[in-house]
Structure 1
Amino acid sequence: MPPMKRNLTCLTLATLMVAGQLAPTPLLAKPASSATERAPVDSAGWTRADPKMDRFVADLMAKMTLDEKIGQLSLLTSDWDSTGPTMRQGYQDDIRKGRIGSIFNAFTAKYTRDLQRLAVEETRLKIPLLFGYDVVHGHRTIFPISLGESASWDLDAIEKSARISATEAAAEGIHWTFAPMVDVARDPRWGRMSEGAGEDVFLGSKIAAARVRGFQGDDLKRVDTVLATAKHFAAYGAAQAGRDYHTVDISERTLRDVYLPPFKAAADAGAATFMTSFNEYDGVPASGSHYLLTDVLRKKWGFKGFIVTDYTSINEMVSHGYSKDLEQAGEQAINAGVDMDLQGAVFMDHLARSVAEGKVDVKRVDAAVKAILEMKYRLGLFEDPYRYSDEAREKATVYRADFFEAARDVARKSIVLLKNKDGALPLAASAKSIALIGPLGDSKEDMIGSWAAAGDRKTRPVTLLEGLQARAPKGTTVAYAKGAGYQFTDAGKTDGFAEAIALAQKSDVIVAAMGEHWNMTGEAASRTSLDLPGNQQALLEELKKTGKPIILVLMSGRPNSIEWADANVDAILEAWYPGTMGGHAVADVLYGDYNPSGKLPVTFPRNVGQVPIYYDMKNTGRPIKPEEPNAKYVSRYLDTPNTPLYPFGYGLSYTSFAYSPVTLDKTKIRPGEPLTASVTVTNSGARDGEEVVQLYVRDLVGSVTRPVKELKGFEKLMLKKGEKRTVRFTLTDADLAFTRQDMSWGSEPGQFKLWVGPSSAEGQEAGFELTE
């Protein structure tokens, strides 16, 4: 596979350069928030002019009837699988009639070939189908959930994960993935936090671009690429009370500064498609928002791909109270900028009438059809409609050994060490008996989490029990007792406690594998509590009474409330849902074969009462002072500190790192002039290890209030024990830009602070000034 090309014109001056590295550090994409006024960047190549394609598509469209055009705008599910209630059966007949242009939830080379044959051999114009699927964090080989991958802070690893996912999916006939999800998520009650990159704009923008590059590669004509979809446009992650599909009510400034930047980064990276969100913005459902879909996405950003709705979201505009009936909903959606109707059959059933009545201009229909046909052309489907449906290639590609090894590596990188009292980890050789306890200790189905595409939940995932038994030194026994349940109905029960406690009492160390059932995260999986569900907490407290060391391994798709555990157990690993090879990866970390390097992409609250809580909140007019924690008339809680349990960017290692004071090459800069901040990081511990060096900036005074700090750069380093390295971050005024009081985009002169350190909560500080 040739190396992926990256268009350097989209890269920021905030480039991270590490002195003494043997290979150049990959450049990081410019914060999308500071790119919202720039022309789009063609990093994938598909937007380049292609006169031959233009002629082909124009000739084809000249032959199409209105009904055939509307068919290209219709995406329906096969009967293979479904992510919701199927609204229309008999799709094979619809394909023959040219009423469907795309199918989702269909895969395998044979199945997609059979469906494709209907379109290219039994229809008048022989237009091939486009096959889509939710390939979110793997296809057959499943990587950690997206939130977990984001905890690696390793853009190359994340891009490789998407590349492998695309390769497997494409080998099974899939042309198009409904990923990446790039919604900023700041409320862990929302189950779909698990599908994205967490709470931060900068990190989320980098990861969005990496995933798009991974899925699409550098040439859509290659048969190991799939179209990427940036979803859910827009502000879906801001659902009130963390309840899925709920109302979103945020300011225009917050939309621009927080929720749009990762989408802009995905567009700049070349995302071929965008998916609308279920929510409303400013009182208008996203699938009917001309402002979002046309004014922002197409006109301001110059997006040239096509826009698909989420599942039946056009139909849901009636329930929103925005449309009187489905016919009006279809008119509002296509006139707003929607090109393809996913599963609702609204365009299929009503659009022709709307055109006939003059409510929808046929030119708008033509524009949507053109965008879709162009993408089919760019994939090479008109040259060979079956090029993705090759059974020999499928057999040679899925479940490759190197894919499994890559999944294991990404899972290791994603694990975050949250606590390690007195060096409880790595497990000592003297621990000859290990009690593995908890509902997630030997559960194959949970290892791969939600949205696991075609992943096998029954046989292939490696459980923690299997991983520990395979890794434990000779003479060490690993025994398992489930002990507790993780369903809500398990609360109050004690079945299994006695067996688990007896096992713990006769063992040297307890590894408690706890968290959430896989279907408690993802879509339609909101919670009002962040506590460990079921009776897990009660069992954990009983295990504490045995006096044995306890290692808590968490598997979940959101931050859980584990304040008691933080105070009472010896070590805590956040493993998320680690994927097909998760059991081996966790065992690698428990035994020290891999030194954990993950950092949190989300803030861990102490309890649900602190939610929403994120690191870049604003100061308020009455900020609490650390030296006066009990002051009355300040912005604080009476019963809980303002601080989180674990801050954004936090994660421990089996070694230690020391940071020198930060030095600046100047303390004043003019617009366009670079500022370089340098810090020397030393591995001061006894093991080799990786550290994520993070740069944060605060604008002290602005025309509107500004966050207490914002991530502006990071670099992941591997340092041998005793090794030191100087990290240099370069900033200009472009990196300090935001939506100003007059709603224009730009920076403002004034005083700034910056910090370089291991998390959002600590670092070496320096100050500088941006002049006129």
Structure 2
Amino acid sequence: MDDRQLVILLNQMTLEEKIAQLQQLAANFYEGAESGGQITGPMEAMGMTDQMIESSGSVLGLAGAEQVIAVQKAHLRKNRLGIPLLMMADIVHGFKTIFPVPLAIGCSWDLEEAERSAAVAAKEAAVSGVHVTYAPMADLVRDPRWGRVMESTGEDPHLNSLFARAFVRGFQGSDLAGDKDRVAACIKHFAAYGLSEAGRDYNTVDLSERHMREYYLPAYRAALDEGCEMVMTSFNTIDGIPASGNVKLLRELLREEWGFDGILISDWGAVKELIPHGVAEDEAEAALKAIRAGVDIEMMTACYVHQLPALVRDGLVDEKLIDESVLRILKLKQKLGLFENPYRAADPEAEREVVFCEEHRTAARELAVKSSVLLKNDGVLPLSRDQKVALIGPFARSGDILGPWSWTGSMEDAVKLETAMTARVGADHITVAEGSGIETMTEEQWQEAEAAALAADVIVLALGESSEMSGEAGSRADIRLPEAQRELLLRLKALDKPIAVVLFNGRPLDLGGVYETADAILEAWFPGSEGGAAITSLLYGDENPSGRLSMSFPVSVGQIPVYYNHFNTGRPVDSPDADGRYVSQYLDIPNEPLLPFGYGLSYTTFTYSEPVVSSGIMSKDQPLQVSVTVTNTGTVAGQDIVQLYIRDISGEVVRPVKELKDFAKVSLLPGESSEIHFTLTEEQLRYHHSDLSFVSDPGQFQLFVGPNSRDVKSHSFRLEKAAVENIRHVLS
């Protein structure tokens, strides 16, 4: 079906049929779904009629080839014009084969592996009947209290942008129309959802437009530049207006300025939530504001189907807005080939072969290795094969290592730490005890743990959050490990045995009481289906940790938000002219995080030379060449991530103390050195000025090179004035 035929189809539709295309319903509304026999309650609650369902445009949360085919067949029998449904679902970090959570993937700093994870997820989802995934999430996050931080790749706009592009490439491929192993991607949550006040989900966001453009919009824009098909609105307000009814944000910025003409979908219930937000009196006003803002699909509330017909007939909504939205939806169905084959890649036989296959599990295991970050190691790791190990903790045997948004994954199929460690060294070298639950500890649990620890040479202590403590609606004010687990660690420490802690969690934690007590800490995050196998390979040195933090770990929750690219203030704590107390500081803790952005240890050590810069002056046509020599000064092979930062010393508005501009991975044998090269251009020095122009300033800059944002070597240079004047002239 071509574009002309789509217009003909659109013109054949009644107003009510058009508006029904804008309605997204959960699977239990449809005949053929496993829960489809229980639609009466949801239908009555939402006031849905049979005709509305028969004319609806998309389904939420349906997967499984046989089920998708059954629902699509039943729908096509009833739909007057034979328009197929779009099947959409949250395939965030894997379908059946679950990869590490996105925050962990961000810590891999590996764009190829991120793309591969999305491609594997797309292949499994597509063969199971899914057409669209609500991923990736490009929200920049600086507050680990927010549960959805696990869906982000961290606190840096540049790194987040690169990962957003990589995930879109993985989900959609280079030919979405022709490649049935791919699914359409939906970037979310537009916009700035990661700045929710107090880290509380669904809460208010308030920031300047300049700040939003500088830090919070780049990753969404990067995803769209990569060809992302859809955008999802956020739950929060922007400048006092909820995103789903925000004309300036959606129609003026996203549609008109950026030129996005794909589908814009609300998050679950967000259109009707304009009422409790306080910008709509009733469903009619909510529908009016959302459609005028440019929201094409209303997810799981029914303001559009109930209110838009009358709003159109009363002249309050131009039917052209409805037609534009419907045509966008039809075009995606056309691109996916649903008019020719409404079942697309759904294939029960192929599904059994593809989903959770060994190739995909290998990919998940390799990424879990690269996503884990060694936070501390006082000579305890790697373990040796002949050591007697006491594996203790609530995650020693747990399959709850997949993390939130793994609804099609299986905890039972997840590789547990006990299973993998026992397979690696034999049952006679491993003694397992729970020690405590996630939030409770009994005396019986402690006695079992104490006996195991006393008989061992070393303790591996598997601690963390349950998956329910993270993810959507998983905000926490206290981001320490639960008290029972901290008590378990302290009791074990008193036995005078070396302790290596393995952390399973979906956010940076306040590690007070843990960091100083443990001898080693391996941050495994929620590592996915192959988590136990990946962690075991790291614990025993079969693999060398190479992950680096994409989000800072606070000293205390009282620091939050704490992030590396902060402003200096007029009274910085390290100013030589500062007068004791009267600087920007805490009296009881340092300003700096416990562990900074970019940080991570290895089983080897690396040294960096002073950076060598090609010139002290940068011009428009003459970028700087920056080189640094990295040497492996340890005894085993390892990989480091060399990071390049800059600082604009004097801007038109204040600039961060550091900004990531590039990075490179280097793998070195013991004693081996490698010279790493970066090219730094004038374009990389640009930023949003007070008038929202995106240009650079002439003057003094610093560049920094190092293994993280804290431990760097610096060099100064100047950007010549003529370069900036020329750029301003071209842009104007």
User: Could you tell me the TM-score, scaled by structure 2's length?
Assistant: 0.95
Aligned CA distance change for structure 1 residues 265 and 278 (closer, same or farther; 3 Å): same
- 2:437 aligned with 1:485, yes or no? yes
- 2:675 aligned with 1:726, yes or no? yes
What is the identity, as a one-letter code, of the residue corresponding to 1:579? G
Deviations 1:645-701 (A, max 9, x none): 100000000111121111111111223432111111122221111111101000001
2:337 to 380, 388, 412: 380
What is the identity, as a one-letter code, of the residue corresponding to 1:442? R
Deviation at 1:494, TM superposition (A): 4.9
Matches within 5 A, 1:285-684: 285-421=242-378, 423-431=379-387, 433-444=388-399, 446-457=400-411, 459-472=412-425, 474=426, 476-487=428-439, 490=440, 494=443, 496-625=445-574, 631-684=580-633
1:697 to 623, 634, 646: 646
Deviation at 1:95, TM superposition (A): 7.0
Alpha-carbon distance in 1 for matches of 2:564, 2:40: 41
Q: Which residue is 2:73 aligned to?
A: 117
After alignment, is 344-353 or 408-417 more displaced?
Answer: 344-353
Aligned CA distance change for structure 1 residues 184 and 505 (closer, same or farther; 3 Å): same
Aligned CA distance change for structure 1 residues 168 and 703 (closer, same or farther; 3 Å): same
Deviation at 1:96, TM superposition (A): 7.9
Helix, strand or coil: the match of 1:681? strand
Matches within 5 A, 1:126-145: 126-145=82-101
Deviation at 1:67, TM superposition (A): 1.1
Deviation at 1:559, TM superposition (A): 1.0
What is the identity, as a one-letter code, of the residue corresponding to 1:160? R
Deviations 1:192-218 (A, max 9, x none): 000110111111000000000100011
Alpha-carbon distance in 1 for matches of 2:669, 2:201: 45
2:227 to 257, 260, 270: 270
Contact 1:756 1:764 in 2 (8 A): yes
Q: Which residue is 1:236 aligned to?
A: 193
What is the identity, as a one-letter code, of the residue corresponding to 2:535? V
Alpha-carbon distance in 1 for matches of 2:186, 2:700: 39
Deviation at 1:399, TM superposition (A): 1.1
- 2:134 aligned with 1:185, yes or no? no
Alpha-carbon distance in 1 for matches of 2:330, 2:550: 38
Contact 2:571 2:578 in 1 (8 A): no
Contact 1:81 1:106 in 2 (8 A): no
Contact 1:290 1:335 in 2 (8 A): yes
Deviations 1:245-277 (A, max 9, x none): 111111112111111010001111111000000
Q: Which residue is 1:15 aligned to?
A: none
Helix, strand or coil: the match of 2:55? coil
Helix, strand or coil: the match of 1:174? coil
1:205 to 161, 165, 169: 161
Helix, strand or coil: the match of 1:535? helix
After alignment, is 388-397 or 634-643 more displaced?
Answer: 388-397
Residue segments in structure 2 that go unaligned for 5+ positions in a row: 722-732
Q: Which residue is 1:219 aligned to?
A: 175
Deviation at 1:81, TM superposition (A): 9.4
After alignment, is 114-123 or 90-99 more displaced?
Answer: 90-99
What is the identity, as a one-letter code, of the residue corresponding to 1:189? R
Alpha-carbon distance in 1 for matches of 2:149, 2:424: 32
Deviation at 1:725, TM superposition (A): 1.8
After alignment, is 221-230 or 316-325 more displaced?
Answer: 221-230
Alpha-carbon distance in 1 for matches of 2:644, 2:62: 44
- Report % sequence identity: 46
- 2:49 aligned with 1:99, yes or no? no
Deviations 1:299-357 (A, max 9, x none): 11111211000000001010000100011101100100100001111111111111111
Alpha-carbon distance in 2 for matches of 1:670, 1:177: 44
What is the identity, as a one-letter code, of the residue corresponding to 1:208? A
Helix, strand or coil: the match of 1:231? strand
What is the identity, as a one-letter code, of the residue corresponding to 2:79? T
Contact 2:386 2:429 in 1 (8 A): no
Q: Which residue is 1:259 aligned to?
A: 216
Aligned CA distance change for structure 1 residues 540 and 87 (closer, same or farther; 3 Å): farther
- 2:13 aligned with 1:60, yes or no? no
Aligned CA distance change for structure 1 residues 96 and 740 (closer, same or farther; 3 Å): closer
Alpha-carbon distance in 2 for matches of 1:117, 1:479: 54
Contact 2:180 2:344 in 1 (8 A): yes
Alpha-carbon distance in 1 for matches of 2:357, 2:442: 43
Contact 1:695 1:713 in 2 (8 A): yes
Alpha-carbon distance in 1 for matches of 2:622, 2:115: 32
Alpha-carbon distance in 2 for matches of 1:105, 1:534: 36
Q: Which residue is 2:703 aligned to?
A: 754
After alignment, is 411-420 or 348-357 more displaced?
Answer: 348-357
Alpha-carbon distance in 1 for matches of 2:427, 2:102: 37
- 2:122 aligned with 1:173, yes or no? no
Deviation at 1:580, TM superposition (A): 0.3
Aligned CA distance change for structure 1 residues 656 and 296 (closer, same or farther; 3 Å): same
Alpha-carbon distance in 1 for matches of 2:197, 2:344: 44
After alignment, is 711-720 or 196-205 more displaced?
Answer: 711-720
Helix, strand or coil: the match of 1:600? coil
What is the identity, as a one-letter code, of the residue corresponding to 1:748? D
Alpha-carbon distance in 2 for matches of 1:59, 1:497: 72
Deviations 1:20-57 (A, max 9, x none): xxxxxxxxxxxxxxxxxxxxxxxxxxxxxxxx722121
Residue segments in structure 1 that go unaligned for 5+ positions in a row: 1-51
Alpha-carbon distance in 2 for matches of 1:372, 1:494: 59
Alpha-carbon distance in 2 for matches of 1:749, 1:208: 31
What is the identity, as a one-letter code, of the residue corresponding to 1:750? G
Q: Which has the higher contact order (CA 8 A, sep 6+)?
A: 1
Deviations 1:534-593 (A, max 9, x none): 410011001000000000000100111113222121100000000000000000000000
After alignment, is 178-187 or 564-573 more displaced?
Answer: 564-573
Helix, strand or coil: the match of 2:514? helix
Contact 1:96 1:122 in 2 (8 A): no
Q: Which residue is 1:45 aligned to?
A: none
Alpha-carbon distance in 2 for matches of 1:296, 1:284: 14
